[in-house]
Amino acid sequence: MIKIVLFGPQGAGKGTQADRLSKRLEIPHIPTGQMLREEIAANTKLGQKVSEIMNRGELVTDWQMNEIIRDRVNAPEYQNGFILDGYPRNVEQAEFLDYQIAVDKVLFLNLPKTEVMKRLSGRLTCPKCGAIFHKIFNPSKSGDKCDRCGTVLQVRADDTPEAIAKRLEQYEEETQPLHEYYLKKGVLIEIDAAPDIEQVGLLIWEALGL
């Protein structure tokens, strides 16, 4: 029974490592993107608002994300533990999360800017289930299709060099402060995300003492 938050810069492999850890620990992986897609698919009032915001290429507001997270982490199926990926995005969201549940461990996947640019430039994403692949580091076994659902993979519009640079600026301004926030709470574990997927997974497993 463990509740984990996983964060780091774009391209650090958060989704990949969260999926792997979820299977090993047998606890749910809660990725932000999937939660938003489910809210939109359910056509709730909040989902409709979220859809409009995302279609404009903007970020979902803190209160909207908090509302979705509150319902999710308090649901019965998540009471035995989970891995949060993509939330909290900033200290304000982290403070809100603290009011909902007690986080046991926070994994910070650290990756240099140069490596981030290199990884994101070759990234391919499934528009249906959200699975992420890479042309070099994590290619799909099916070639240009998703290994999970068979949908044709796409290059995200925000994976251009200019868009990546902008997102990194936003990350450093909004999300990087989470490092200090969780360090002070004594739950932060820093992981070198530069090695290959298998090695990073091993580092995470050892750091958790499992």
Catalytic residues: 14, 89, 123, 156, 167
Beta strands per DSSP E along 86-155: 105-110, 123-125, 132-134
Phi, psi of 105 (to 5 degrees): -140, 145
Q: Report how far Cα 109 is from the mean position of its chain's Cα atoms.
A: 11
Are 188 and 133 a contacting pair, CB within 8 Å? no
Phi-psi region of 126 (alpha: psi -120 to 50; beta: other; left: phi over 0): beta
> In Å, what is the CA distance from 188 to each residue of 3, 106, 161, 163, 183?
13, 5, 30, 29, 5
- E strands, 90-205, are 105-110, 123-125, 132-134, 188-192
Q: Are 3 and 104 in contact (CB under 8 A)?
A: yes
SS3 content of the chain, % helix, strand, coil (to 5): 50, 15, 35
